[in-house]
Amino acid sequence: MSDGLEGVIAARTVLSDVDGAKGRLVIRGYAVEDLSGRTRYEEAAHLLFDGFFEDAPSDLAPALGQARVQAFREVAALDEGLARRDPVEAMRALLARLLDGDDLATALLLIAAPAVFTPAVLRMAKGETPVAPDPALSHAADILRMTRGAPATNAEAAALDAYLVTVCDHGLNASTFAARVVASTRAGLTSAVLAGLSALKGPLHGGAPGPVIEMLDAIGAPENARPWLEKALARGDRLMGFGHRIYRVRDPRADALKAAVRRLAAASGGLPGRLAFAEAVEQAALQILREHKPDRPLDTNVEFYTALLLEALGLPPSSFTCVFAMGRVSGWIAHAREQLAGGRLIRPQSVYVGPEARAAA
């Protein structure tokens, strides 16, 4: 038995490869740092879908724009009570209204759903009216416009694209595995995506970047970093944004996102103070983690710079997991289709450690 299925190979995939020793992530043959910042999310989704949907057009952007318009119709079911819940829970409730299917139309609607539902939930929670999608815009530009009610700059849209592409797929992570398990029962893509979203929500997976901001805010100034982090570890807390099951060196996505934060800072003229402060906290954390766990290499993971980038885009920490889902959803769908195409029902076994056989009273 392998605790946490560590080291267990449970699928063959053409989608992405995570090399934890070298700190490399390859998506369909491309290094993540080459895709991030150069590719729009629509193109990354097309890359993932290649070979899984025969009717996929070479440019997914127009169909995805129309799918956003279709998804917006579901926003009518959003009431104030739901909008005030945790945004992931509100989004999951809306997503659960969509019909199951295995075709391209369902897949595009599922990519559109988190991108449309999240801005609507955020706006309604503040008492504002949801903004309808503009199908002519890029996916990233439209997400920011629907959230703010005002257009984003090209640099901001490019920064969100860089994020969505960086996180679009990542081997057999917990949420992708959950999606593949559900897909293996032939339940349909919506059910697979709901499973992925539910697994992503937890703080050990996609729920980490919100707490990264809470940590930075609580530390407040570079000189407080060491005592604050030492106290957190002494309490038995985990430092959010650090450590990974597979990477034994730095997560390559951390650097791809740090580069995106720098590009955004250069274009907007803002951020240098916050970035320098975050870098100081990161360095202090790495040093303390080395002292705390000398035998376990713990380095920066994707969530640390996710937090900085999404914060710089004006997105609230409560929405960060939903934004992660906006990117990862195309990976869940591609994996679900891959599982359907060639995989058997996923059905492992357990070791029984309960009471010996006994007679019923």
Rounded Cα distance, 232 and 225, in Å: 11
Beta bridge partners of 25: 18
Spatial CA neighbour of 322 closest among 163, 152, 153:
163
Q: Which is nearer to ligand CMC, 303 or 338 (CB)?
A: 303
241 touches ligand CMC by CB under 6 A: yes
Which listed residue (14, 128, 296, 314) binds ligand CMC by CB under 6 A? 296
Q: Which is nearer to ligand CMC, 136 or 204 (CB)?
A: 204
User: Among all residues, whose Cβ is closest to ligand CMC?
Assistant: 243
Shortest separation between residue 135's beta carbon and ligand CMC, angstroms: 31
Rounded Cα distance, 78 and 87, in Å: 12
23 touches ligand CMC by CB under 6 A: no
Q: What is the strand order of the sheet 24-27 is part of?
A: 16-19, 24-27, 30-31
274 touches ligand CMC by CB under 6 A: no
Rounded Cα distance, 66 and 20, in Å: 38
Cα Rg, the chain, nearest whole Å? 21
Rounded Cα distance, 286 and 284, in Å: 6
Which listed residue (293, 314, 341, 342) binds ligand CMC by CB under 6 A? 293
Shortest separation between residue 246's beta carbon and ligand CMC, angstroms: 8
Where in 179-238 is the site for ligand CMC (CB under 6 A)? 204-206, 208, 238
Shortest separation between residue 298's beta carbon and ligand CMC, angstroms: 5
Catalytic residue among 282, 303, 311, 338: 303
Rounded Cα distance, 255 and 284, in Å: 18
344: left (phi over 0), alpha (psi -120 to 50) or beta: beta
> According to DSSP H, which parts of 126-153 are helical?
139-148
243 touches ligand CMC by CB under 6 A: yes
Where in 155-184 is the site for ligand CMC (CB under 6 A)? 170, 173
SS3 category, 355: coil
Asked if 260 and 159 count as a contact pair (C-beta separation under 8 A), the reply is yes
- Tell me the two tokens of residue 158: 């490019």
239 touches ligand CMC by CB under 6 A: yes
Give the per-residue contact string, 104-143, with ligand CMC (x = CB under 6 A; - = no).
----------------------------------------
Catalytic residue among 205, 244, 311, 335: 244
Q: What share of the chain is helix, strand, coil (3-state, %, to 5)?
A: 60, 5, 35
Shortest separation between residue 99's beta carbon and ligand CMC, angstroms: 29
Span between the terminal Cα atoms of the chain, in Å:
33
Which listed residue (298, 307, 325, 329) binds ligand CMC by CB under 6 A? 298
Name the one range near ligand CMC by CB under 6 A: 10-18, 28-36, 273-281, 296-304.
Answer: 296-304
Asked if 105 and 147 count as a contact pair (C-beta separation under 8 A), the reply is no
Shortest separation between residue 233's beta carbon and ligand CMC, angstroms: 6
Q: Which is nearer to ligand CMC, 201 or 244 (CB)?
A: 244
Residue 244 is a catalytic residue:
yes
Asked if 335 and 294 count as a contact pair (C-beta separation under 8 A), the reply is no
Q: How far from the centroid of its chain's Cα atoms is residue 242's Cα? A: 16
Q: Which is nearer to ligand CMC, 86 or 134 (CB)?
A: 86
Residue 292 is a catalytic residue:
no
Residues that bind ligand CMC (CB under 6 A): 4, 170, 173, 204-206, 208, 238-245, 293, 296, 298, 301-303
Residues with catalytic annotation? 244, 303
